[in-house]
């Protein structure tokens, strides 16, 4: 079976997309990829068996706890070379015919009769143009978050590559304008983290402009935190999934907290000033006050 109408959750890393993806995975019709796909990239039936176990009485909750939804980048890279760490966003012209032919069926082998809608999270470059070329009927949900909170979070995780400088990180060389901006802030890593957020948000805007209207839903992390049930109900409707009482109870029980203010406590005055300076024009553009 091929994947039809997949749901892709995109966003800059550290934006709350993991929390949202895990909530969506509780919907009875959604399937997802996991670390099993990375470990066995040519045997998606193993992940399908895991998804079937999630719906079993008694053992289902244990199975869900043991193996959680993931981005499965090693699986994607195995079947679509360059997908994991491109130096720019992937667009429709980057999709090869071999990947277009094989990937829908490969992803479809993860589905079960009950869990027949793939809901998959991808952070970093949006890849919306590439994925739309592969799946013209795909739905995209973009999770945005205040760039100051995202920059702070990047500075506190071990896998942020910005410490290596833009010559060695994942996002390609900075444009002359952004390079000048970084140098104007003394090559501050806080400023570079803010520049990364700005780059990813600009890439998302450019990607959305290249796909049909109505394919992408933009939602803010802060909105989900404020009213999880209400906003996730809207997202589920956008994805053409049915709403039910059990799923609503699952969402209502989720411990969702807005931790955006941590950047004011975690960063010193100079770092805060660098981030706010870099994002002075971008924050209002995406609905955030300065």
Which sequence spans correspond to the domains of the chain?
7-285
CA distance to 49, 67, 151, 195, per residue, from 60 (Å) = 12, 11, 37, 42
Mode of pairing for the β-strands spanning 139-144 and 7-11: parallel
Per-residue tens of pLDDT for the chain, all 290 residues: 789 999 999 999 999 999 999 999 999 999 999 999 999 999 999 999 999 999 999 999 999 999 999 999 999 999 999 999 999 999 999 999 999 999 999 999 999 999 999 999 999 999 999 999 999 999 999 999 999 999 999 999 999 999 999 999 999 999 999 999 999 999 999 999 999 999 999 999 999 999 999 999 999 999 999 999 999 999 999 999 999 999 999 999 998 999 999 999 999 999 999 999 999 999 999 999 98
Q: Which residues sit opposite 220 in a β-bridge?
A: 144
What's the pLDDT tens digit per position in 125-154? 999 999 999 999 999 999 999 999 999 999
Contact 32/238 with Cβ under 8 angstroms?
Answer: no
Contact 78/108 with Cβ under 8 angstroms?
Answer: no
57-63-69-75 Cα dihedral, nearest 10 degrees: -120
Spatial CA neighbour of 13 closest among 229, 197, 264, 210:
197
CATH 3.10.20.30 corresponds to the domain 7-285: no
Spatial CA neighbour of 79 closest among 45, 118, 41, 43:
41
Contact 123/13 with Cβ under 8 angstroms?
Answer: yes
What's the pLDDT tens digit per position in 192-207? 999 999 999 999 999 9
pLDDT of residue 2: 83
Rounded CA-CA distance 186/209 in Å is: 34
pLDDT of residue 1: 79
């Amino acid at each position: 079976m091929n994947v039809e109408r997949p749901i892709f959750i995109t966003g800059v890393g550290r934006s709350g997309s993991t929390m949202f993806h895990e909530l969506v995975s509780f919907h009875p019709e959604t399937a997802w990829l996991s670390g099993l796909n990375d470990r066995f990239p040519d045997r998606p039936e193993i992940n399908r068996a895991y998804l079937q176990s999630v719906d079993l009485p008694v053992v289902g909750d244990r199975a869900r706890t043991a193996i959680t939804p993931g981005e499965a980048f090693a699986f994607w890279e195995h079947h679509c070379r360059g997908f994991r760490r491109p130096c720019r966003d992937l667009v429709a012209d980057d999709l090869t015919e071999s990947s277009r032919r094989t990937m829908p069926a490969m992803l479809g082998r993860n589905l079960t009769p009950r869990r027949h809608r793939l809901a998959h999270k991808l952070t970093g470059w949006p890849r919306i143009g590439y994925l739309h070329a592969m799946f013209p009927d795909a739905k995209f949900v973009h999770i945005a978050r205040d760039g100051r909170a995202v920059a702070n979070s990047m500075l506190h995780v071990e896998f942020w590559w910005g410490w290596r400088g833009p010559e060695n990180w994942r996002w390609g060389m900075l444009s002359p304008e952004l390079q000048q901006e970084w140098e104007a802030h003394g090559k501050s890593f806080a400023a570079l983290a803010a520049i990364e957020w700005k780059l990813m948000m600009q890439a998302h805007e450019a990607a959305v402009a290249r796909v049909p209207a109505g394919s992408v839903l933009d939602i803010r992390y802060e909105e989900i935190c404020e009213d999880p049930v209400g906003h996730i109900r809207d997202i589920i409707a956008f994805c053409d999934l049915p709403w039910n009482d059990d799923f609503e109870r699952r969402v209502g029980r989720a411990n969702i907290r807005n931790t955006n203010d941590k950047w004011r406590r975690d960063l010193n005055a100079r770092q805060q000033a660098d981030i706010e300076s870099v994002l002075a024009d971008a924050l209002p553009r995406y609905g955030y006050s300065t």
